[in-house]
Structures are given as C-alpha cells and as structure tokens.
Amino acid sequence: MATQLDDPRIIEFDVRTDEMLVNMGPQHPSTHGVLRLVLRTDGEIVSEVEPHIGYLHRCAEKIGENLTPRQWIPYTDRMDYLAGMNMNLGWALAVEKLVDHELSEKAKHLRVILAEMGRIASHLVGMGAYGLDLGTFSPFLYAFREREKILDLFEEACGARLTYSYLTPGGATADLPNGWLQKCEAFLEQFEPIIQEYHALLTTNAIFVKRTASIGVMSPEMAVDFGCTGPVLRGSGVDYDLRRDGEERYTEMYDGYAFEVIVQKDGHYPRDHDYPAVPKEAVLGDCWHRFYVRMLEVVQAIDIVRQAIDRYSTASGDYGVPIKLTQKLPKGEAYLETESPRGQMGFYLISHGDSIPWRVRARSSSFCNLSVTSDLCRGCLIADVPAIVGSLDLVMGEIDR
Amino acid sequence: MSGSNLVERLSQQFGEKITGSNLEAIDPWIEVTPQGIVEVTRYLRDDPDLQLNLLNCITGVDYFIADEKKAKKAGWDPHTEVVYHLSSTKNKHTLVLKVMLPRWKDGVEGELPEVPSIAGVFSTANWHEREVFDLSGVMFTGHPDLRRILCPEDWIGHPLRKDYEMPLEYHGIRGR
Amino acid sequence: MSPTVADFFHNSFRLPESLAYLTAAVIHCVLIILVVAVGALLFIWLERKVSGRIQDRLGPTRVGGAFGWLQTLADGIKLIAKEDITPKDADWLLFKLAPYIGFAASYCAYIALPFADGWAARHMNTAVFFILAVLGIEVFSPILAGYASGSKWSLFGAIREAAQVVSYEVPLGMCVVVPVFLCGTMNLVTIGNMQAGLFTNWLVFNDPFTFVIAVVYFTCATASVNRAPFDLAEAESELVAGFHTEYSGLRWSFFFMAEYGSMFLVSGLAAILFFGGWHGPIPIGEILGDFLAYVVTPLVGIVAWLLSFVFKNVHTADHVAVAGHIANSLGCLNFLLKGLIGVTVMMWVRWTLPRLRIDQVMTTCLKYCVPIAAICFLGALGWRVADWTTGADIPLVGIHYGKGGRGMVRESWVEQTQSAKVAENDVPDAPITDPNASDGPTGSVEQSPDELLTMKGGDQ
C-alpha cells in the first residue's frame, strides 16, 4: 500500500492488507447484463463501489427525435426487455396524454390484463435471477418454466414473445384472440399454488434469509432521496404506488379494482393472502423486504388480472383504434409515469406540431435505483454486492436506453 | 393547492427568481432562474404543504433549428431548457420546473451553459445531471462528480443537441 | 491372511518378487484411475441428470443412446480439443501444475480406501490419517491456481479456499477421531469389519453422539470438497468462476475430476466410518450362511478345482476363498452404492440451497461445527467409558458379533485375531463369515493388528 504512516510506531498495529481495485463486470455473471462495478476492496470488505454504465446505450432518445410515436414503440420494448408490455403501456399513455385521446372501457381492461401479466413475468425473472445471484440455480428454472407460459399467452395475443409492440397509442394493435381469457384463467389457476414453492425455496429458506436480511438496508428517506421507485421504494416502507397515486390518466385504468398497495404498514404487510411471515432478522428496507414485496406483488397481480378478465369480458367499446402512423401531434409537452415492474417508468414527449416529436425522454426506474448502489454497498462484503444489486432488480437495457 | 396560488406563493417567497409560468399546458410548469433553482427546489421539498420530495426526472431540451428560414417560423429563439419533474410521495401531487438557459455560455460557441446543481437537495439529481450534461451539454456548477455517464469518457460532443454531428470515426470504428 | 495380488503373481507366475510387486502396483493404479476417471464421468453425468430432474428438465438425453450416458465423454472430447490458454500475467509453471496437484492428491487418497473387505490398493494401519492428510494437500491446487492465474477473482477464490478448507479440517478431524477411538484402530478395513451384522451395528447408530457426528462429518466433508452451499472458491455469482476462471480445456477438466474424485472419497469414507462400509443393512450373506456353506461353496469348489488345472499352485483351501471373493464383490457393490448415495445427497443439496457468504461459512465452522464435534467427541467418549448399551445390542438377529456393545466387539475381535495368529500357518484363509477375513498383515511392510493395538497404548 502506498500510504505513508506518520508515526512509524503504529505500523505494527496496521494489519490491513493492500487495497485492491476490482472490476465486477461488464462481463460478470451477476451484473445482469453489462453493468460494470468498480470495487475498491480490502480483502473481502468492499470500501467503495462505483457503477459505470452506458455499455448498452443505444441512443433511444435520439432515435425518438426522428420517428413518429408509433414507430418508436419497438424501441420502448427494448428498453426494459423483461417487461415490454409495461413499457409499451407507458409510452402509449404518454402519447395519448399529449394528443388527449380517450380510451374505451374495453381497451383499458385489456391493458390492465396485459400490464399485470407482464408484471408477473418480470417479477418471476427478478426472483429467479436473484436466486442465481445468491448461488441457487433451481428457482431460476422454476421461474422460467412459469414465465414461459405467460410468454406463450403473449405470443398468442400479439405474435411476439419478448418485444411485443402490442399496446400502442390509441389502444392495442389487435384484440385478444378467442379463448385467450380462458387460457389465461387456467394459467392463473395453475400458477397460484406454485408461489408457495418459491417461498419454500427462497423467501423462507434459512440460508436465503441469512444472505439477504439486514443487508443493504435503505431508510425510507434515503429511498425517496435517491429517487428509488417501485418495489425498491415500497420495500423501504414508503406507501407509494402509481397505480393508486399516479396521474388520473393512468389510475383510471385501475378504477374500481380491489387491490392493496404492497407495503409494510404498522409493522405488517397486507393479509389478504396466506403469505409467509417476516423473519425476525429482516429489517425494513433490506434486500429481503425488497424481494418480499416483489413476491407479494405477483399475488396481487394475479388478483388484478382475475378482476380485469371479468371486467374485460363484459366491457363495452372497442379494443382501441391506434392513432395514425403520421398523425400530427399537437404543440405541447406531456410527461407521464406508470408503475412498471421495476418502478416508475416516465416518458416525456415534447412536440412542436409535427408528426415527429421534438424531444423524447425516457425516465428509467432502474437508472435511479442503480444510483443508490454505491451508498448501499459501502462496507459490505464482496458476496453482498450481488445480493444488493440483485435486490434492486436492474435491467441494463432500461438504464442505458 | 391550485396552480395560480402556488405561483403566487413562490413569487412572494423568491421574488424575481420566479420568472414565469404556464398553467394552461398539459403539465403546468413554473419557470425559475438558474440562480434560484437550488433554493426553490429545497423550499418545495421542505415545505410542509408541498413536500415535493421525489425528483422524478431532469431533462435537457435543446431548442435550435439550423435552417434559418425554418427557425424564423418556429416562434422561439434558440435556447436550452432544463426541465425538472417533481412529485410528492406524501401529498401525491406533481410539479414541473423549467430553467431557461442560453445555448452557449455568454454566446461563445463551445462553452456550455451553466446552471447550479441540485445534487445537494436530491441525491438522485447526481446521476440525472450527469446524464443531462452528457447528452444535452449543460454544465451543472457545484456538482460533486460531473462526468459523462452514458457515452464513453472520451466522447466528443453532446448527442442530444440539435446541432450535434456524429463523429466520422471513433477509435477506428466508422461513425457515419 | 489372504494372498495379495503380488503374492498371486509371485506364486502363480513365478515372477521375481520385485517384478511381482511392480505388476501389482500397476494393476492397482489402473484400477483406481478407472474408479476416479470413470467415476468422474459417471458423476458428472449424474450431476447433470440429477440437476435436470430437480429443475424440471430432462438433462442430457441423446449422446450414447438412452439417458445420454455418454454425454460426459463427449464433453471430455470437446475439452481435449479446446485450446489450452495460459494468461499473459500467469505464473507459467504453477499455472500448469496446479490442476495436476489437485488430481494427484484426490487420486492418491484412493490408495488407502478399501472398497470391500481387504480390497484396498495398499493396506494401511493408518488409512484414516493417510486419507485426511492427502486430501489436505488438495487445497494446494486451488491456492496455486488462484495465485498463478494473475487474475484478481482467482486470487479471491484461492484465499477463500485456503481459509475455508483449513478451517474445516479441524471439525473434520474431530469427527473422524470418534469412530477411530470407538474401534481402537485407524485401519479402515478393521473399522468396516467391526460394523458387520445388522445395520444397528453401524457406528452411526452406536449412540446419539455418533449420530450427530455423522451429520457434522458430512457437512464438513461437503465444505472441504467445496460443494455448494460451501462452494465459495468458485462462487460464480461473485467471483466469476473463482480459482479456475482462467483455465480452459483439459486442464480445467482436471479440477473437476479432482472435485468429483474427492466427493466420492469423502462419501466413501463416511460410508466406512459411520455407515457400515461394505456391509449391507441386513447381513443376508450371514443369514444364508448355511446355504453358502453347504450348497454354494462346494459348487465354487468345483470351479476352483477346475481352475487349479490352470493355476497349479492354488491351495485347496483357496476354494473357499473364491466364495469369499464373491461375497466381497457384493460388498464392494454395497460400498459403491453407499458412496453414490452420499454423492447424490451432495448434488441434491447443491441444486437446492443458496450459497453461504464467506463469513457465514466460517461461522458455521468455528461456531457450530467445532463445538458440536467437540461435545459429541466427549459424549461418545463418555458413552464408551460408561459402557452403556449401544445400537449394537438390540437383539433383532442374534448373528452379530458385538453382544456386549461396541467395546466387546473390539475385544472379541482382538481375541479372534490373536488366536488366528497362533493358527496362522495352519489356516491361511479365514472363513467367509469371519469379520476379519482379509484384515491384518497383507504386505511385508505392515504390522499385524495386535501389534498396532499394543503400540497404541496397550489397552488390553
């Protein structure tokens, strides 16, 4: 170590080893893509973490300045590629906000079904990948097995399995095929009991609890200060969910739906289902709680989809008329955030009256969630870094855009 | 609190630092001078009625048309805007602030316009301001660590400025 | 005493003694290499199959026809064909050497491991000690690999490995000592033979403490061979691939051969120390003893008599020994099955549990395994001193040897060996049902068991 000690007598007490700079990523199994973390470590203890991003930067915002809103939809898919439906929805709503387009009831419920199914699929990946970060492989495949069925449903609805481009400004590109709702219900019926397996393998597993409880504790103030949103924010005990607290244009989709925001209030989570108990070691705002909120949101999403299926099948109106490809946008600017699985996904659209927007901006939730990493990881062990980063459930496509 | 009330209140509090507002827009916004942005955001965050404690987003927007004929028709002078979207997790409301800047500092081409950093008010502003600096070319004074974030560190230019031209070549990779 | 392979060559083919021993050594080596290499092939295939089934997949299905049983061989061929890369920053010699050290250590330990009654490459009175010591050398392989790779992740893996394996040697040693003092010998063949009879004779059921010790032993053994949830040295989500990050091709596969080799080794050791070795849960052979003695043995005798035309020097008494060898083969199968079960449990654990953190691994060792092992050590000692009833006393079938508890087993065994020694010249082969059939001196360098016991403090 290059440090010069002022008092040579204290050298015998200085048992620290050399500090080491280690690159975790961009090619590393646990950084979920191309995140690069520069760790300054003293042995196993991490003293500093510096995230470096931009390896997946695809100039989406710049491209958006040269395309009409409908042409830009495929680019939103590729941002958060694990929740393409939710990204489509966010962009569609932002454009509708600008052109002041009113949706039919049917289109709204259709969107709820797909958005919540997308949330389940995304949280399944988040859960499985988190198990992978902690060194257990099997839950990942159990999660993917179920996600595969959701993707099958999506494929049937829109023809794509990952990049859907299904929900467009004005509604959706097509109605759900015949029999889709029955298949969806059958899937939910089959999927719901399986969540208990996940709880047994991860949530309540002793080693899992040991690895996640009291690790990476984030206070509610800190979470808000760093702009963390979604399960990360609610895992810290902040009662804020855009599906309830968001803008009118978004919350009206969820009007009349019975769901409770998943957050620990007065020391306990909603008790509408049989959830496993919070272990004694867990502290509000730690990795375990972030994971737990995600798991509970899966159950919540199942409930919402069930309600939406009922309402969709009786709703009036059309599934929506997509706005024209070259429709002139009114002058003005609109910003709208939706609750995507990873947090609040905001789209900002400035138009000067052309069919092509003047400026497009995507506010990504993972971007803000990642920015908290260096503060959370200070002083933890190397093995905790994947545990903390994994609990934020990042998608690099969304961060780098 | 209605929009006009809020503007009135902020004007009383900060006087000339509040330079304008547009309450008819889809998202009503308030214009703040660059010098006032730190104080205003801190006030908005701490005020018990407002509690705008969540900074959603900072956006840099470049207003510039290279073609002079079209520029005359545009209806605005070339400038750069920094847009702050704030919301409150407690009171569930949102607010938009705008800071208008010249495209270049003191009109000297290549000198980035400056605005004080609000990274001391919202920690999340740190990365957002880095992104705006990187892509839109706004210099945030007082920022703890103003580096490029999405583009490589040796990238030249700020891609989201309207007069940006893609380099012909970057480390042997063809650009255009 | 039963004739060794060397004796066989010496007597039957009239080879000079030195050449006979060399030939025997080569045969032993080849056999063990087969066990380790074929074992690794089998275990890697098994791991893929087990993990596949655990994860709701099929695993390999194509190569080699049914169940993809040749998958590992195909992988091996691929690995041989791959380029062997040495990083620029690597310490060339150590980098090349490290995998072989690990493989050699894992392989050497097999020398002392008996696969059935007397079926060991080299009979050792200190086999337990030898195996533990040689397995300890294996840790050099990851350390050297990590150090020599010139990669920081590898170095982390190496240091973790060093800290972990060295710590786990302590409780592992304590666990192993318990069967050793219960049986009064370090000779694995003797320990195995003392557990003959009904499964209640197994040391794991000797008393509650040995039961706990067996569990602790298995935990520590899992940790010392770096299997999940203790696979910190190669934790892929943290350290990319740990100490073998920079390895490729065949050299990389040697680490795996060593890993699977030592997995079976520690499982086999557990089988011998706690789970009756090559003795099945129910001594069918002994129940059918009469049948064997009156029906099968004469048949075998005829075969042996026919064989004796080929091998002129076979004694008549060897006819009985042939039947003994058949019983031993079944015992060997028994032992392999037990080892396989141990390995499968390790796989099952690996594909189910998340990985522990390094400090939790050390906590598990120092705060739980060591105290529990120490308490059980004292408990088992106290149990033995107080001479309380043991599992061996449960009179389900009255054919086991330890009528008066484990201690009596040992004493009766000592008496038998002493009398056997007196009559050594008359009866070269012990009867089949004798638990000490092939125990005792087999090579010229070894001591007889009673000499060993006298050496160990004269507790007679």
Q: What confidence tens digit (pLDDT) does each residue in A62-118 have?
A: 898 888 888 899 999 888 888 889 999 999 999 988 888 888 888 888 889 999 999
Lowest model confidence (mean pLDDT) among A236-240, A327-331, C147-151, C388-392: C388-392
The stretches in chain B having pLDDT less than 70 are 1-3
Alpha-carbon gap: A227 to the closest alpha carbon of chain B (Å)? 5
pLDDT of residue A322: 76
Q: How far is CA B160 from CA A363, B131, B133, C452, in A?
A: 15, 11, 10, 85
Q: Which residues of A touch B135 (CB under 8 A)?
A: 61
Q: What is the CA radius of gyration of chain B?
A: 17
Please count the CA atoms within 13 angstroms of the CA of A295 that sit on its side-chain side: 32
pLDDT digits (tens, 9 = 90+) for A137-174: 888 999 999 999 999 999 998 888 888 888 888 888 88
The DSSP result for C367-382, as a single string, is IIIHHHHHHHHHHHHH
| Burial class (CB within 10 angstroms; exposed 0-12, middle 13-18, buried 19+) of A45 | middle
Please answer yes or no on whether B25 and A226 come within 8 Å at the CB atom. Answer: no
Q: How far is CA C27 from CA C5, C20, C170, C177, C268, in A?
A: 9, 11, 35, 32, 21
Q: Is C349 on the interface with A (CB under 8 A)?
A: no
Q: How far is CA A100 from CA A334, A371, B139, C213, in A?
A: 10, 34, 35, 73
Please tell me whether the peptide bond between A26 and the residue prior to it is cis, using omega within 30 degrees of 0. Answer: yes
- Cα angle vertex B165, ends B162, B169, to 5°? 155
**For B31-98, where are the alpha helices, taking DSSP H only?**
37-46, 68-74
Please report the number of interchain residue pairs, chain A to chain B, with beta-carbon separation below 8 angstroms. Answer: 90
| Burial class (CB within 10 angstroms; exposed 0-12, middle 13-18, buried 19+) of C388 | exposed
Chains A and B, touching by 3 or more CB pairs within 8 angstroms: yes
Spell out the SS3 assignment of A187-219.
HHHHHCCHHHHHHHHHHCCHHHHHHHCCCCCCC
Q: Which residues of B touch A371 (CB under 8 A)?
A: 123-124, 126-127
Is the pLDDT at A257 greater than 50? The verdict is yes
Could you state, in order of their start, the residue ranges of all structural domains in chain A?
60-400
Cα-based torsion angle of the residue sequence A295, A296, A300, A303 in order, rounded to the nearest 10 degrees: 80
User: Taking a C-beta distance cutoff of 8 angstroms, is the pair A344, B56 a contact?
Assistant: yes
pLDDT digits (tens, 9 = 90+) for C317-330: 555 566 667 777 77
Q: Which residues of A touch B91 (CB under 8 A)?
A: none
Query: Which pLDDT band, with edges at 50, 70 and 90, does A213 fall under?
Result: confident
Q: Which residues of A touch C245 (CB under 8 A)?
A: none
Beta bridge partners of B58: B84
Q: Is A131 on the interface with C (CB under 8 A)?
A: yes
Is the pLDDT at A9 greater than 70? The verdict is no
User: Taking a C-beta distance cutoff of 8 angstroms, is the pair B101, B82 a contact?
Assistant: yes
Q: Is B57 on the interface with A (CB under 8 A)?
A: yes
> CA quadruple A92, A94, A100, A105: dihedral positive or negative?
positive
Q: Is A25 on the interface with C (CB under 8 A)?
A: no
User: Taking a C-beta distance cutoff of 8 angstroms, is the pair C435, C413 a contact?
Assistant: yes
- Closest residue in B to A224 (Cα–Cα): B54
Phi/psi-derived region of residue C236, left when phi > 0, alpha when psi is between -120 and 50, beta in every other case: alpha
pLDDT of residue A328: 84
Kind plus residue range of the DSSP H or E element containing A167: strand A167-168
Please answer yes or no on whether C238 and A30 come within 8 Å at the CB atom. Answer: yes
- Cα angle vertex A95, ends A94, A101, to 5°? 105
Give the count of beta carbons closer than 10 Å to the beta carbon of residue B100.
18
User: Taking a C-beta distance cutoff of 8 angstroms, is the pair C57, C50 a contact?
Assistant: no
Nearest to C459 by CA among C387, C410, C420, C405: C410
Beta bridge partners of A167: A172
User: Taking a C-beta distance cutoff of 8 angstroms, is the pair C30, C38 a contact?
Assistant: no
Kind plus residue range of the DSSP H or E element containing A44: none
- Beta-carbon contacts of C43 under 8 Å, excluding residues fewer than 6 positions away, are C260, C263, C264, C343
User: Taking a C-beta distance cutoff of 8 angstroms, is the pair C325, C119 a contact?
Assistant: no
The architecture that CATH gives domain A60-400 is Orthogonal Bundle (1.10)
With tokens 């023809």, the residue in question is A159
Q: Name the more confident of B73 and A345.
A: A345
Q: Is A13 on the interface with C (CB under 8 A)?
A: no
CA distance A105 to C297: 89
User: Taking a C-beta distance cutoff of 8 angstroms, is the pair C443, C6 a contact?
Assistant: yes
Q: How far is CA C230 from CA C155, C236, C346, in A?
A: 17, 12, 11
pLDDT of residue A165: 87
pLDDT of residue C452: 41
**Which chains form contacts with chain B, at 3 or more CB pairs under 8 Å?**
A
β B18-22/B94-101 pair status: unpaired
Tokens of C301: 């005798």
Helix-, strand-, coil-residue percentages of chain B, each rounded to 5: 30, 25, 45
If DSSP codes are grouped into helix, strand and coil, which group holds residue A24? strand
CA distance A137 to A139: 6
Q: How many structural domains comprise chain B?
A: 1
Q: Which residues of C touch A131 (CB under 8 A)?
A: 354
| Burial class (CB within 10 angstroms; exposed 0-12, middle 13-18, buried 19+) of C381 | middle
pLDDT of residue C403: 37
Please answer yes or no on whether B85 and A335 come within 8 Å at the CB atom. Answer: yes
DSSP C121: S
Tokens of C339: 């080892």
Tokens of C444: 């010229």
pLDDT digits (tens, 9 = 90+) for A350-395: 988 888 898 899 998 899 999 899 888 888 888 888 889 889 888 8
CA distance C445 to C256: 34
Please report the number of interchain residue pairs, chain A to chain C, with beta-carbon separation below 8 angstroms. Answer: 86
Is the pLDDT at A5 greater than 60? The verdict is no
List the single residue in C56, C235, C357 with the smallest CB-CB distance to A145.
C56
User: Taking a C-beta distance cutoff of 8 angstroms, is the pair C250, C78 a contact?
Assistant: no
CA distance A307 to A133: 34
List the single residue in C57, C153, C237 with the smallest CB-CB distance to A133.
C237
User: Taking a C-beta distance cutoff of 8 angstroms, is the pair C400, C197 a contact?
Assistant: yes
CA distance A70 to B152: 30
User: Taking a C-beta distance cutoff of 8 angstroms, is the pair C285, C397 a contact?
Assistant: no
Residue B123 domain boundaries: 3-174
Q: Which residues of A touch C232 (CB under 8 A)?
A: 383
β B29-32/B54-63 pair status: unpaired
Please answer yes or no on whether A22 and C152 come within 8 Å at the CB atom. Answer: yes
pLDDT digits (tens, 9 = 90+) for C219-258: 988 888 888 788 877 766 777 777 888 888 888 888 888 8
Is the pLDDT at A253 greater than 70? The verdict is yes
Q: What is the pLDDT along chain C (460 residues), one digit of tens a residue?
A: 455 777 777 777 777 778 878 888 888 888 888 888 888 888 888 888 888 888 888 888 888 777 888 888 888 888 888 888 888 888 888 888 888 888 888 888 888 888 877 777 777 888 888 888 888 888 888 888 888 888 888 888 888 888 888 888 889 888 888 888 888 888 888 888 777 777 777 888 877 888 899 999 999 888 888 887 888 777 667 777 778 888 888 888 888 888 888 888 899 999 888 888 787 777 666 666 555 556 666 677 777 667 666 655 555 555 556 666 777 777 788 888 888 898 999 888 888 888 888 888 888 888 898 999 999 888 888 877 776 555 454 443 334 443 334 444 444 555 555 555 555 444 444 444 444 444 444 433 444 444 444 434 333 3
Chains A and C, touching by 3 or more CB pairs within 8 angstroms: yes
Q: Is C51 on the interface with A (CB under 8 A)?
A: yes
Query: Which pLDDT band, with edges at 50, 70 and 90, does A186 fall under?
Result: very high
**Which chains form contacts with chain A, at 3 or more CB pairs under 8 Å?**
B, C
Is the pLDDT at A120 greater than 90? The verdict is yes
Please answer yes or no on whether A22 and C153 come within 8 Å at the CB atom. Answer: yes
The DSSP result for A359-377, as a single string, is EEEEE-HHHHHHHTHHHHS
CA distance C159 to A42: 13
CATH number at residue B18: 3.30.460.80
User: Taking a C-beta distance cutoff of 8 angstroms, is the pair B80, B113 a contact?
Assistant: yes
Residues 268-297 of A with CB under 8 A from B: none
- Beta-carbon contacts of B98 under 8 Å, excluding residues fewer than 6 positions away, are B29, B30, B31, B32, B81, B82, B83, B84
Q: Which residues of A touch B150 (CB under 8 A)?
A: 53-54, 57, 400-401
Alpha-carbon gap: A202 to the closest alpha carbon of chain C (Å)? 8
List the single residue in A61, A229, A247 with the smallest CB-CB distance to B160.
A61
List the single residue in C56, C236, C239 with the smallest CB-CB distance to A141.
C56
Q: Is A35 on the interface with C (CB under 8 A)?
A: no
pLDDT of residue A188: 92
Please answer yes or no on whether C57 and A381 come within 8 Å at the CB atom. Answer: no
Kind plus residue range of the DSSP H or E element containing A160: none
Please answer yes or no on whether B135 and A61 come within 8 Å at the CB atom. Answer: yes
- Amino acid (1-letter code) at residue A21: L
What are all long-range contacts of C381-385, with beta carbons under 8 Å and residues at least 24 apart? C381/C181, C383/C206, C383/C207, C383/C209, C384/C181, C384/C182
pLDDT of residue A347: 92
